Chain A
Amino acid sequence: MISGLRRFGLRVQAFLRPSHTNREIEREIGAHLDLLEDDLTRRGMSPDEARRAARRALGNVELTKERSRDERSFPWLEDARRDTARLLRSFVREPGFFGVAIVTLAVGIGATTAIFTVVNGIVLEPLPYNDSERLVAVLHSMPGVDADDAPLSRAMYLTYREHARSLEAIALWRTTSVSVTGEGEPEQVDALIVTDGLFELLAVEPIFGRTLTAEETAPGGEPSILLSEGYWRRRFGGEPEVLGRTLRVNGTDRAIVGVIPEGIELERQRPSLYLPLVIDPATTRVGGWSFPAVARLRPAVSLEQAGHELTSLTSLATETYPGIPLAELEARDFSTYVRPLKDDVLGEAAGALWIVFGTTGIVLLIACINVANLFLVRSEVRSRDVTLRAALGASKGRLARQSIVESLVIGALGGAGGLALALAALELFLAIAPAEIPRLSNVSVSPRVVLFTLGVSLVSGLLFGTVPAIRHARRDVASALREGGRGLRSRGPLRSLFAVSQVALAFVLLVAAGLMVRSFQAMKRVPPGFHEPESVLTFRLSIPTSEATSGEEAARAHERILERVAAVPGVEAASAATSVAMDSWDSWDDVFVEDFPELDETAKRFRRFNWIAPGYFATIQNRLLAGRDFSWRDLHERGAVAIVTENFARELWGEPRRAVGRRIRSDEEYPWSEIVGVVENVHTRGLDEPPPSLIYLPFFMGQFWERDFAWRDLRYSVRTSRDLPAALVPEMREAVWSVNRNLPLYDVMTLEQILERSMSRASFTLVLLTLAAVVALFLGMVGVYGVISYLVAERRREMGLRLAMGARPRDIALLVVRQGARLGALGLAAGILAASSLTRLMDALLFEVRSSDPPTFGVLALALGGIVLLASYVPARRAAAVDPTEALRLD
Chain B
Amino acid sequence: MSSRKEHRVELLQGTLDLILLRALETMGPLHAYALAARLEQASDYPFTLNQGTLYPALIRLEQKGWIRSAWQKTENNRDAKYFSITPAGRRALTRETERWRRLRSFVDKLLLESAP
A residues at B contact (CB < 8 Å): 2-4, 6-7, 10-11, 25, 27-29, 31-32, 34-36, 38-39, 57-61, 63-64, 67-68, 70-72
Contacts and interface: CB of A to CB of B under 8 A. Distances in A.
Nearest to B60: A71
Contacts of A10: 63
A716 to B, nearest CB: 88
Contacts of A67: 52-53, 55-56
Nearest to A28: B81
B32 A4 contact: no
Contacts of B66: 3
B65 A34 contact: no
Nearest to B56: A71
Given A31-B81, A32-B33, A36-B33, 15 more contacts: A3-B66, A3-B88, A28-B81, A31-B78, A31-B80, A32-B51, A35-B33, A35-B74, A57-B51, A58-B50, A58-B51, A61-B52, A63-B52, A67-B55, A72-B63
B64 interface: yes
Contacts of A39: 33, 37
Contacts of B59: 68, 71-72
Interface residues of B, number: 26
B92 interface: yes
B67 to A, nearest CB: 11
A10 B88 CA distance: 17
A59 B49 CA distance: 10
B63 A6 contact: yes
A583 B23 CA distance: 96
Interface of B: 31-34, 37, 50-53, 55-57, 59-60, 63-66, 74, 76, 78-81, 88, 92
A64 B59 CA distance: 12
A58 to B, nearest CB: 5
Given A3-B64, A3-B66, A6-B63, A35 B52 contact: no
B55 A25 contact: yes
Nearest to A70: B56
Contacts of A27: 79, 81
B8 to A, nearest CB: 15
A28 B55 contact: yes
**Which of A7, A36, A38 has the largest number of chain B CB atoms within 10 A?**
A7
Contacts of B57: 71
Contacts of A32: 31-33, 51, 80
Nearest to B33: A35
A11 B65 CA distance: 12
B64 A68 contact: no
A1 to B, nearest CB: 11
**Which of B53, B56, B57, B66 has the largest number of chain A CB atoms within 10 A?**
B56
Nearest to B91: A3
A2 B92 CA distance: 12
A455 B35 CA distance: 52
B23 to A, nearest CB: 16
Nearest to B69: A28
Which are the 7 A-B pairs with shortest beta-carbon distances? A64-B52, A71-B56, A3-B64, A35-B33, A59-B50, A7-B63, A59-B52
Given A3-B92, A35-B78, A59 B55 contact: no
